[in-house]
Amino acid sequence: MNTERIAKLVHQLLVELGENPDREGLAKTPHRVAKSMEFLTSGYRQDLPTIINEAVFQSEANNMIIARDIEVYSMCEHHMLPFFGRCHIGYISRDKVIGLSKLARIVDFHARRLQIQERLTADIAKDIAEAIDAKGVGVVMEAKHLCMMMRGVEKQNSLMTTSSVLGSFRSDLATRSEFQDLIRRQAH
């Protein structure tokens, strides 16, 4: 990623908006925005095997494994405005489990790209299913979108929920219901 080129583009954008990009408060803004974009879009410059980093382990566990309330921050591809919320992941393994921190890293890997929440949810589920050959995977994401809150319809309390269920989470109603019940429970 060429941060110098992005900084020049941001400088020009500020001019087009009617601002003086050389005034004290904005003088370093183009470079700050370029560095921010480098971080916020780092998912384009990563790959899943490096993220997982061999943190897949043999296990006889065949029960449901759930990680709740994983923070997610992304930017919508339509307006390049942030959306943020929580991601809940559940899976049933065949004979492998994945390191807990890797679930959060997979969320970030996909979230740090221009996204739509629907695809983000599905991609997370697909990658987890493939990484461990899970019997089933469920991912539920709840997020607030600044493109809905700050502009357009300006609905401050709207919350979008998406889900992706694969394998036994799709085919077995009892499994899907157990997952949904467990992610709804409040932590004590």
Q: Specify the pLDDT at position 120.
A: 98
Verify that 70 and 105 share a domain, yes or no. Answer: yes
| Active-site option among 4, 77, 118, 130 | 77
| Active-site option among 46, 142, 147, 180 | 147
Asked whether residue 45 is assigned to any structural domain, the reply reads no
Verify that 84 and 177 share a domain, yes or no. Answer: yes
Active site residue 79: yes
The yes-or-no verdict on residue 109 having pLDDT over 70 is: yes
Verify that 97 and 160 share a domain, yes or no. Answer: yes
Residue 8 belongs to what domain range?
3-40
pTM over 0.85: yes
d(CA 124, CA 107): 6
38 pLDDT tier (thresholds 50, 70, 90) = very high
Total tally of structural domains belonging to the chain: 2
154-159 contact pairs (CB < 8 A, 24+): 159/85
Verify that 15 and 62 share a domain, yes or no. Answer: no
CA distances from 45 to 7, 74, 103, 105, 112 (A): 19, 15, 18, 14, 10
Asked whether residue 47 is assigned to any structural domain, the reply reads no
Verify that 100 and 177 share a domain, yes or no. Answer: yes
Verify that 71 and 8 share a domain, yes or no. Answer: no
Q: Across all residues in the chain, what is the average pLDDT?
A: 95
Verify that 19 and 72 share a domain, yes or no. Answer: no
| Active-site option among 11, 76, 88, 110 | 76
Across 20-130, the runs of DSSP E, i.e. the strands, are 56-58, 64-76, 82-92, 96-98, 114-115
Active site residue 87: no
Verify that 163 and 100 share a domain, yes or no. Answer: yes
The yes-or-no verdict on residue 188 having pLDDT over 50 is: no
Verify that 71 and 31 share a domain, yes or no. Answer: no
| Active-site option among 46, 79, 178, 180 | 79
The yes-or-no verdict on residue 61 having pLDDT over 80 is: no
Q: Specify the pLDDT at position 186.
A: 63
Active site residue 71: no
Active site residue 156: no
d(CA 141, CA 160): 8
What CATH code is carried by the domain that includes residue 161?
A: 3.30.1130.10
Q: Specify the pLDDT at position 30.
A: 98
Q: Do 66 and 92 contact (CB within 8 A), yes or no?
A: no
Verify that 27 and 61 share a domain, yes or no. Answer: no
The yes-or-no verdict on residue 24 having pLDDT over 90 is: yes
Does residue 33 or residue 61 have the better pLDDT? 33
118-172 confidence digits (pLDDT tens): 999 999 999 999 999 999 999 999 999 999 999 989 999 999 999 999 999 999 9
153: enclosing H helix or E strand: none
Q: HSE of 146 in the Cβ direction (CA atoms, 13 Å)?
A: 11
Active site residue 31: no
Asked whether residue 150 is assigned to any structural domain, the reply reads yes
Asked whether residue 164 is assigned to any structural domain, the reply reads yes
Verify that 145 and 87 share a domain, yes or no. Answer: yes
Asked whether residue 49 is assigned to any structural domain, the reply reads no
DSSP 137-150: EEEEEEEEEHHHHT
Asked whether residue 48 is assigned to any structural domain, the reply reads no
